[in-house]
Structure 1
Amino acid sequence: MKSSILKIGFFLSLLFAVLFYSVWSIPSFDGITAAIGSLTNSSFSKDYSMAVWEWRSPDDFDNTGMIELVDHISKKGVDVVFLRIDKYIDIFESPYSTLRDEQLKQFENSLALFVSVAETEGIRVYGLAGHSTWSSESHRYIPQRLTTFVLEYNLRHPDNEKLAGIQFDIEPYTLAEYSPENAGRYLESFVVTVTDLVSIVDLSGQKDYFDLGFTIPYWYDTITPEGHAVTKENVQTSVFARISDTLAVLPSTHLAIMAYRNEASGNNGSINLVGDEFAYLAQSGYSSKIFIGQELSNITPASITFFSSKWRKFVLELNQIFSVYRRSTVFGGFVLNDMKTLNKLYP
């Protein structure tokens, strides 16, 4: 009898040990509690920064619209908004008139209001702009002008209306004329654009509290037969390495890597797609942060978007990514494309 009781006790202890190990070995934010909290409350964990791309202009919202939007995303756990400001260039380049001056003033007032409303909820706002042609020599002045505008804007406004920085989404590889044969030329031109913008911020007197960033594809870290490479001191290197080296002169920079997959693990999962970028920045000792981009829009192929995914699936995949990179000094958070889709899919 005593022997049977001892055997039962042994097996119960063994079963408890197996269950304990299984539960606590599941990848999560900072443990199971954070993961469950995110799933049940329909909000993101506070253990990382969650950003969204907002492709609408600040003057597309009235006061009530801004307040409602900010209130909604703050409840989701979003704490960074990349807000489109391209419209400034459209107004700036229109024929000079008193009307143009008034439009510029109205745009700036709308921008200031959006930032101040977001600030009340602890949300940082960055300027966001981009076009595939902006790294060409003929159009490079546009991102330069926008960077100067944001720097000057910050000097004119109090802290609760200042932008945290600016992010550019310049994708020369989407141009019709881009090909494997001329890829190097287009990508070198992109590096020149990055270099010019770094110089503007570096000389602005605001570099210690101004964050410059770029949206890039995950494959910028490769040197492939298709020509996705540039040179440094006559040695072929990746675009990612070149722009990371260039950004290193500034104390606050970031790269939003479009690692669009609806699976975190596997050779083609988001974790693997950004692994080399994390390793390069960490080994180099650079201060740049990486935002891991995730797609929500209704696009094809289905494998690169969470458009058809349930909230639980979406958050669990983010948990897996976070469990791998949470201790990296390089990790800046996630960025979602985009605001409208986030609010539609996960109200």
Structure 2
Amino acid sequence: MKTKREIRFMLLMSCLILCLSTACSSKVSAIGSDERVDSYATIHGKLDRPVRATWVWDTTQIRSNTQDLLHFAAENDVNTIYLQINRDIKIPEYKSFIRLARAQNIAVDIMDGRSAWGLTESRNQIVSFMDWIEAYQAQALSQEKFAGIHLDIEPHVHPQWKTNQAGVITQWQGNVNYIVERAAAMKMPVGADLPFWLDNYKIPGSTMAVSSWMIRKFDSITIMAYRDTAAAIYNVAKDELIDAASVGKTISIAVETKQSKEGNFITFYEEGEAYMEEQLKLVENMASVHPSFNGFSIHEYTSWKTLKK
């Protein structure tokens, strides 16, 4: 039979142990939170500097042309690569490339999308894409992880856009909601390419522009301001810059280097690299007044590298 003194002592020791355990648990939790923040900032180098990005659609480049690709990125101050998913590329090849890119302080975003992704019937493809990312991120070391998710959906080129525009927009919203929720669960930022003229279209049953809805939904937007003079580029991107600034989001202005059937004014293909860089500097001077302005995305690696000097 224990005495009252012994019982009081045992209760006191139990309380002490419980308090120490709680304190240690809180400390571990706090450290884990800090580590996630540090990891996010480290992986996504673009957090503390403007974007200078390019698309890499031919993912086999990371297997067959790794050094040339990263050398080009370094020579052209690229700090972000939008890399299209290709399941023929092995997981170790992705990991190796991202490690090398990270060593150059280059963020690699996993990219995919097609016009059909604006439709609910394509949700299974989107689920598969997000499942692949989740599985990859779970097994990758911090220096091997993708920094974010980049989407290029563009349902306006799908045939149904002409016959059922409101329906396509509504379905597109549903798919975007799904992607954004999955990305948030993985603690990954998600951005998307949007044409500059999307503000001409409204969310069904609302006065809100489709571009405004997308800006509020995604972490960042890349506005495809495909023009070949500084004034034209800035003028077509300005409304989105203003809108994004009002809600604390960021905009990367995209320009084209591929030859275009839509006209020479769309692309820098004819003028060449030096002229493009001159125009981008002028755009930067104009766009920097907007707190949302976050650099440039240049479409795309293979055409950019062959742009005349």
TM-score by length of 1: 0.71
Name the structure 2 match of 1:123.
Answer: 106
Tell me the alpha carbon deviations over residues 314-341 of structure 1, each in whole angstroms, 9 at most, x when there is no partner.
1111011100122433122111111011
Q: Which residue of 2 aligns with 1:282?
A: 245
Select which of 212, 217, 234 maps to 1:271: 234
Match of 1:193?
175
Q: Distance in 2 between matches of 1:84 and 1:155?
A: 19
- Matches of 2:268 and 2:99, distance apart in 1: 31
Structure 2 match to 1:80: 80
- More deviation, 292-301/182-191: 182-191
Question: Which of 105, 111, 120 is 2:94 aligned to?
Answer: 111
Do structure 1's residue 145 and structure 2's residue 107 form an aligned pair? Answer: no
Q: Which amino acid is 2:168 matched to?
A: Y
Instruction: Supply the AA of the counterpart residue of 1:75.
Output: E
Matches within 5 A, 1:39-78: 48-57=50-59, 59-62=60-63, 65-78=65-78
How many Å apart are 1:172 and its aligned residue?
1.1
Q: Distance in 2 between matches of 1:74 and 1:346?
A: 18
Q: CA deviation at 1:140?
A: 1.8
Residue 220 of structure 1, aligned match among 193, 198, 204: 198
- Quote how far apart the aligned CAs of 1:290 are: 0.9
Which one-letter code corresponds to 2:127 in the other structure? Q
Q: Which amino acid is the alignment partner of residue 139 of structure 1? A: S
1:325 aligns with 287
Change (3 A) 1:244 1:72: closer
Asked whether the equivalents of residues 132 and 172 of structure 1 are also in contact (C-alpha less than 8 Å), the reply is: yes
- TM-aligned CA deviation for residue 70 of structure 1: 0.3
1:163 is matched with which residue?
146
Q: Note if contact 2:120-2:174 (Cα within 8 Å) is conserved in structure 1.
A: no
Distance apart, 1:83 and its partner CA: 0.5
Conservation of the 8 A alpha-carbon contact between 2:54 and 2:301: yes
**Equivalent runs, 1:294-333 vs 2, <5 Å:** 294-300=255-261, 301-333=263-295
User: Structure 2 vs 1, CA of residues 111 and 307 (structure 1 numbering), >3 Å: closer, same or farther?
Assistant: same
TM-score (norm 2): 0.79
1:335 and 2:297 correspond: yes
How many angstroms apart in 2 are the aligned matches of 1:171 and 1:51? 19
Q: Is the 8 A contact 2:62 2:94 kept in 1?
A: no
TM-fit CA distance, 1:302: 0.6
8 Å CA contact 2:203–2:210 kept in 1: the answer is yes
Offset of residue 346 of structure 1: 5.2
- What letter is aligned with 1:124? A
The amino acid across from 1:242 in the alignment is W
Q: Output one character per residue of 1:145-166: Cα deviation in whole Å (capped at 9) or x when no partner.
A: 2123223312211121111111
Aligned CA RMSD, in angstroms, stands at 2.0
Match of 1:237 among 196, 204, 208: 208
Structure 1, unaligned runs of 5 or more: 1-45, 89-102, 223-227, 248-252
Moved more, 293-302 or 187-196: 187-196
| Contact persistence 2:242–2:290 (CA under 8 A) | no
Seen in structure 2, the aligned counterparts of structure 1 residues 165 and 346 have a Cα distance that, compared at 3 Å, is farther
Distance 1:281 1:129 in 2: 23
- Which amino acid is the alignment partner of residue 108 of structure 1? I
**Aligned-partner residue type, residue 212 of structure 1:** V
1:98 aligns to what? Answer: none
Q: What code does the residue aligned with 1:211 have? A: P
1:174-233 CA-partner distances (Å, limit 9, x unpaired) = 123421x5212112211111111111123x2x42xx2101111101122xxxxx2213xx
With over 3 angstroms needed to count, the CA separation of the structure-2 counterparts of 1:144 and 1:332, relative to structure 1, is farther
Alignment length, in residue pairs?
Answer: 261
For residues 310 and 246 of structure 1, the distance between their equivalents in structure 2, rounded to whole angstroms, comes to 35
Provide the rounded CA distance (Å) in 2 between the counterparts of 1:318 and 1:219: 20
Query: Per the alignment, in what secondary structure is the counterpart of residue 138 of structure 1?
Result: helix
Aligned to 2:222: 256
Deviations 1:240-262 (A, max 9, x none): 11122333xxxxx2111111000
Partner Cα distance (1:238, 1:344) in 2: 37
- 2:157 is matched with which residue? 174
Where do residues 8-47 of structure 1 align in structure 2 (5 Å cutoff)? Answer: none
Consecutive unaligned residues in structure 2, runs of 5 or more: 1-47
Note closer, same or farther for the CA distance 1:182–1:149 as it changes in structure 2 (3 Å cut): same
